Amino acid sequence: MAEAVARLILARHGQSAANADDVFTGWSNPPLTPFGREEARGMAHKLLDAHLRPDRVFCSPLDRCTETVSILAQELAIGNVPVVKDARLNERDYGLLTGQRKGEIAQIYGVDQVRRWRRSYAEAPPLGESLRDTAARMLRAYVETVLPAAMAGGTTLIVSSGNALRSLVMTLDGLDESEIEGFDISTGAMILYELGSTTAVLGRSILQNRMDPE
């Protein structure tokens, strides 16, 4: 049986002000809420419980991600670990929906249309990105930058947003278009992948945030 040579953790940032207000966030740049900062501290405790300290970090340069990374670095005492900010790891661009309340948009365009914009693989909101568009840049960042660093060994952490991470999970888990529609990752949640010497995924486990319900 192949042996894992590297660990990769995908982590969604803590709750942002836009998450709390139930608006389309996209490339807007809200800060974490107090609850989101507590979620980030909960993530750090879970990593400590699992004896996982990142050797390197890649993150979106949006504030909700960099603030999450800062809290993790403080709680895990890894201030000397390199952090690479890459805009290709940003959340999907919601275009004209950015900053709009999801409920109000559903009243204008209909619940079914909004669900397709949010969950489908190929359909993009007006002037925004589809999940397929997001996957294209996420995978470039993963193949060109993240994966070569991860294969040096140890633990690599990616901190990004929900849809951006969905697009990467689709590839790592081998999900098809219908399966990714039903997949979600909550704020403060983490997924651990074990990678073999060929970069293949050998194992996968959910790292529950301490603040998540049992």
The closest of 7, 3, 8, 35 to 19, measured between CA atoms, is 35
Cα distance between residue 210 and residue 146, in whole Å? 27
Catalytic residue among 38, 39, 67, 91: 91
CB within 8 A of 66, min separation 6: which ones? 59, 60, 85
DSSP string, 147-206: HHHHTTSSEEEEEE-HHHHHHHHHHHTT--HHHHHT----TT-EEEEEE-TTS-EEEEEE
What DSSP string runs through 55-120? SEEEE-SSHHHHHHHHHHHHHHT-TTS-EEE-GGGSPPP-GGGTT-BHHHHHHHH-HHHHHHHHH-
Catalytic residue among 13, 38, 39, 67: 13
Tell me the C-alpha distance between 73 and 80, whole Å: 9
Instruction: Provide the 10 A C-beta neighbour count for residue 104.
Output: 11
CA–CA gap between residue 201 and residue 199 (Å, rounded): 7
Q: Is 13 annotated in the active site?
A: yes
Catalytic residue IDs: 13, 91
